[in-house]
């Protein structure tokens, strides 16, 4: 026995168990504000109470996150990380990283949390996806991002990850290497932006037929892409060619 309220206040264990169960039920039913209320009440009574090794802090953090209240979720995930066994911490670092990314201005913290999650459990693809995405799109660390995408895609296919890996390769000037990734992304989830990246890959590979075919598909689907083709050094060698002019049309 300890001097914790749960052990010293008659009937408190049953009350805490009921609050925990009500909070879990509220999460399952999508009533996240109700879940926050139940877990907050429980934390106020005995903040070390847990079920199946999962604290009320972890549960409330998830409810806050689902409500979009990332600022409140972050300290709750921090408390859960401090209090719970390692087997749970990888998930909490991953979710705290997503919260840091969501609030803006804390991408280094997000990357660090994704790294901690991977160090604790490298069999979950999510941290590789999100860390790689930040590394390539925000920090220009394309080689590191590609390594993360490689790890993710070894576990499961995903159209955005193929697209991101292809784009990172393009930014490194590896057009021919990017093409298979972008083709696979387009196969899994057809998308105008992926077609645009295929045109770019064709231009620098070089694969002129792929460039023209993809450019035509892009402009047929979304003419607003036209300025990206007519004012871009990677496409300058096509300027003046009859086929290029026929596709882009008059200025």
pLDDT score for 10 = 56
pLDDT above 80: residue 5: no
Residue 97 falls inside a structural domain = no
Residue 144 falls inside a structural domain = no
Single out the residue in 84, 101, 122 at which a domain terminates.
84
Determine the average pLDDT of the residues in 39-58: 96
Residue 4 falls inside a structural domain = no
Determine the average pLDDT of the residues in 41-60: 96
| Domains: count for the chain | 2
Residue 59 falls inside a structural domain = yes
Q: Look up the CATH number of the domain holding residue 23.
A: 1.25.40.10
Single out the residue in 34, 59, 84 at which a domain terminates.
84
Residue 92 falls inside a structural domain = no
Residue 164 falls inside a structural domain = yes
Residue 117 falls inside a structural domain = no
Domain with 29 in it: 13-84
Distances (CA, A) of 111 to 58, 146, 181, 208: 20, 15, 24, 38
Residue 237 falls inside a structural domain = yes
Predicted model pTM: 0.92
pLDDT score for 1 = 39
Closest Cα to residue 132, out of 121, 119, 122, 144? 144
CA atoms 12, 15, 17, 20: torsion sign: negative
Single out the residue in 38, 55, 84 at which a domain terminates.
84
Q: What angle do CA 217, 222, 227 make, to 5 degrees?
A: 95
């Amino acid at each position: 026995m300890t001097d914790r309220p749960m052990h010293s206040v008659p009937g408190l264990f049953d009350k805490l168990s009921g609050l925990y169960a009500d909070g879990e039920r509220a999460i399952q039913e999508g009533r996240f504000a109700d879940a926050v209320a139940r877990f907050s009440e429980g934390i106020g009574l005995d903040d070390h109470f847990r079920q199946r090794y999962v604290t009320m802090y972890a549960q409330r953090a998830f409810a806050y996150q689902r409500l979009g209240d990332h600022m409140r979720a972050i300290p709750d995930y921090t408390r859960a990380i401090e209090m719970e066994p390692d087997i749970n911490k990888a998930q909490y670092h991953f979710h705290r990283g997503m919260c840091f990314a969501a609030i803006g201005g804390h991408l280094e913290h997000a990357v660090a949390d994704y790294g901690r999650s991977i160090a604790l459990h490298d069999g979950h693809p999510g941290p590789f996806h999100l860390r790689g995405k930040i590394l390539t799109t925000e920090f220009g660390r394309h080689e590191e991002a590609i390594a993360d995408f490689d790890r993710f895609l070894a576990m499961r296919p995903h159209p955005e990850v193929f697209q991101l890996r292809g784009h990172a390769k393009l930014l490194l000037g590896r057009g021919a290497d990017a093409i298979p990734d972008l083709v696979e992304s387009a196969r899994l989830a057809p998308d105008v932006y992926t077609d645009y990246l295929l045109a770019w890959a064709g231009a620098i590979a070089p694969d002129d037929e792929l460039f023209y075919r993809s450019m035509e598909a892009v402009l047929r689907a979304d003419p607003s892409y036209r300025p990206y083709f007519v004012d871009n050094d990677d496409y300058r060698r096509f300027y003046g060619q009859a086929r290029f002019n026929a596709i882009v049309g008059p200025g």
